[in-house]
Every structure is written in structure tokens, then in C-alpha cells.
Amino acid sequence: MKTAPTTRRGNGQTMPPSGMQSHTSALALSRRRWLFAAAAGAAALLRVDARAAPRVIRIHARRFVFTPDRIALAPHERVLFELTAGDTLMGFSIPQFGVRADVPPGAVVQLAAEAGDAGSVPFLCDIFCGSGHETMNGMIVVG
């Protein structure tokens, strides 16, 4: 047998006096509004944080290798590459993302980028650095 929940009290009264009811409701409403505003504010802060802090990915370039030479990104992920070069001036270019940078030895070069849709995106050295330059490349796998 099913038992329905009951709000009826022993004296038969189910509601507080009407004056108290409206006072309580106004208070609850204003409190709900405040909580909603606080939640919205927190959500906005989280969004700002997400925009302000892209993932940092360090890549080292030397003749004729990038380390790492395979990078996995989420679709539309924003990242900040931190690029270093070991021996000579290198270039770091991701043509499909429309970004590139010179990477002189001894410097840490920051390069912001944003991934697109899922797929394979090649990157390469675009400054001639020696006889193996043409094979100096890597792959970003977005997915």
C-alpha cells in the first residue's frame, strides 16, 4: 500500500499565518536572488580564468628535431607554446593555425595558438638551419 507524504500537523494547521508566510517568501526570494547573482559571478570568474590561462606546452628545437614532435590538443583548445632553441636560430610555424615565431638560442619565446576542429596539423621549422632543415617538422593531433 502506498503512503502519501503528509504535511498536515496534529492540530490540522498546514500553513503558517499569512503575514509570516509573505515575510518568509520575500526573504527567501531575496536570498535566492543573491545566491543566483553569486553563482553567476563565480561562473563569470571561471570563464575569465579559463580565458586567461591556456595550457603551456614547451617545445625545444635543435638541428633537426622538435621535442616533442607530436602534440595532442583538444578541439578549439587554446595553448601557449614556450619555445626554446639549442644551437642556432630556428623557426616554429603552424601554417594551418596561422602562427609562427623566430626562436633564437638562449631565449624562451611564447607563442599563443588556438586549435581548430579535429584533425592532423603539421608544424615545421621555417628558417633554414642546415642540411636537415627540410625534414624538421612535427604533428599536432587535434581530437
- Residues at the contact surface with Cu ion, assessed by CB under 5 A: 125, 129, 133, 136
Residue 126 near residue 93 (C-beta atoms within 8 A): yes
Residue closer to Cu ion by CB (options 62, 133) is 133
DSSP, res 54: P
CB 82 to Cu ion: min, Å: 19
CB 125 to Cu ion: min, Å: 3
Residue closer to Cu ion by CB (options 121, 129) is 129
Residue 137 near residue 67 (C-beta atoms within 8 A): no
CB 117 to Cu ion: min, Å: 28
Sequential DSSP letters for 121-135? EEEE--S--STTGGG
Match 644551437 to its residue by C-alpha cell.
Answer: 87
Residue closer to Cu ion by CB (options 73, 125) is 125
- Strand-pairing partners, residue 29, are none
CB 140 to Cu ion: min, Å: 18
C-alpha cell of 35? Answer: 545566491
Peptide bond into 36 cis (omega under 30): no
Residue closer to Cu ion by CB (options 113, 129) is 129
- Strand-pairing partners, residue 81, are 57, 111
